[in-house]
Structure 1
Amino acid sequence: MDADAAKANLHNYLKHEREAVVAKLDGLSEYDVRRPLTVTGTNLLGLVKHLATWEARYLGEVFGRPFPEPLPRWDIEADRLADMWVAEDESRADVVDRYRRVWAHGDATLQALDLDATGRVEWWGDAEVPLFNVLVHLLAETSRHAGHADILREEVDGAVGTDAEAMAADGHDAAFWADRREQIEAAARAAG
């Protein structure tokens, strides 16, 4: 596979994962996209904000193409986790629209640079890293958080799938999932 084909393939996977994360917000109330669903406060809209922040850094700052809007700082303790949750004065539309602007900015970086172009990742010890490594890292991070979003969304209302259409067309009712959960619980108890 040549470098252009490899870049296109990785980029397509990234695009899919981006959309999968945003789709997890579909049909939920403002409360449900913002409410903390883990001990550490992880929430759906916070994941979107976090991904926007870090994609802007990885496909912006790292390659001397800074995203034109301010970002929470990673190197100032008070700001360090500000990208993981959404304050009441930040709208869902603003967070999602910003993520989409970050996509456009990142896509422009990917179009402009070859996979062997290097950038400096300050938070990796100021390492000089090729775009290929950064793109693979970003894809892994986005996929990881898409998995978090899958579980968070399932916790909120039982919806599963990688996009809004799949979530709606799952075909299994609450009774099916209750029976399945009980079967798994029984197996866990028997093994324990």
Structure 2
Amino acid sequence: MNEPANRPADETGEKETLLHYLREAREALVWKLDGLTEYDARRPLTPTATNLLGLVKHVAATELLYLGHVFGRRLAEPVPWLEAALAPGAEPNLDMWAAPEETRDDVVGFYRRVWANSDATIGALGLGAPCEIPWWRPGVRVTTLRRIVIHMIAETHRHAGHADIVRELVDGAAGLHPDRGNLPPVEREWWASYHARVEEAARRAAGR
């Protein structure tokens, strides 16, 4: 059900809450690149070529579409790779990896400019502001800014979770944030023992 575009002043607190969770996810995703070589930031770690810099690039493109283009608020700069990815018949996954000439600073800098554009969209419009998502299925395409922000929170946290796993595969680093690991405060030896117990449980279950 669509909501009225105009909301009372008390939606300010709701916007702040939504932005808190969106910003938390953004920062967690970008942090996963810290301290890595160019190769490790880009190398594919799954059969579908999931890689850390590609995750950042993909989420940046997705956020620009949902919180920029959909509301008529494009970036002032051209984004040729995104236009190529959106063109009819485009090669799949063009936004899921970085070409050799694209630097990490290019991708992260672009993402941060998208953040500013999105935050301006959220600040300028009521959460009930209507929009239409052409690539959604008929019947649900017309929606509101509120739902789009929630969608981007879910999207960004989902890919931040992917980044958690990929980074751990790269060098063993894990955790939510430099100051908040969200993991048990135990030694490396405990993790090795825990891993062995979980492996043994899986083997015993498979042998039943």
TM-score with structure 1 length normalisation?
0.92
Distance 2:52 2:11 in 1: 34
Q: Which residue of 2 aligns with 1:100?
A: 112
Residues 165/189 of structure 1: CA separation in 2 closer, same or farther (3 Å cut): same
Q: Is the 8 A contact 1:74 1:80 kept in 2?
A: no
Q: Which residue of 1 aligns with 2:38?
A: 30
- Single out whichever of 177-186 and 104-113 deviates more from structure 2: 177-186
Which has a greater percent of helix? 1
Distance 2:148 2:121 in 1: 12
- For residues 44-102 of structure 1, give each alpha carbon's deviation from its aligned partner in whole angstroms, at most 9, with x where no partner exists: 00000001001000011111112233224335332441110001100001100000000
Distance 2:100 2:187 in 1: 34
* Residue 58 (structure 1) aligned with residue 66 (structure 2): yes
* Residue 122 (structure 1) aligned with residue 134 (structure 2): yes
2:13 aligned partner, one-letter code: A
Q: Which residue of 2 aligns with 1:113?
A: 125
1:26 aligned partner, one-letter code: D
Distance 1:131 1:75 in 2: 25
Among 86, 89, 104, the residue aligned to 1:77: 89
- For residues 130-183 of structure 1, give each alpha carbon's deviation from its aligned partner in whole angstroms, at most 9, with x where no partner exists: 00111111110001001000111111111111123445x985444332211111
Identity rate, percent: 49
Residues 50/29 of structure 1: CA separation in 2 closer, same or farther (3 Å cut): same
Distance 1:134 1:94 in 2: 26
Larger radius of gyration between Structure 1 and Structure 2: 2
Among 2, 9, 25, the residue aligned to 2:17: 9
Listed as ranges, the gaps of 5+ residues in structure 2 are 1-9
Q: Is the 8 A contact 1:24 1:153 kept in 2?
A: yes
How many residues in Structure 1 have an aligned counterpart in Structure 2? 191
Distance 2:172 2:88 in 1: 37
Q: Which residue of 1 aligns with 2:6?
A: none
Distance 1:84 1:173 in 2: 35
Q: Which residue of 2 aligns with 1:91?
A: 103
Distance 1:113 1:80 in 2: 33
Listed as ranges, the gaps of 5+ residues in structure 1 are none
- Single out whichever of 123-132 and 96-105 deviates more from structure 2: 123-132
Give the SS at the match of 2:99. Answer: coil
1:104 aligned partner, one-letter code: A
Residues 79/112 of structure 1: CA separation in 2 closer, same or farther (3 Å cut): farther
- Over aligned residues, Cα RMSD in angstroms? 2.0
Q: Which residue of 1 aligns with 2:194?
A: 180
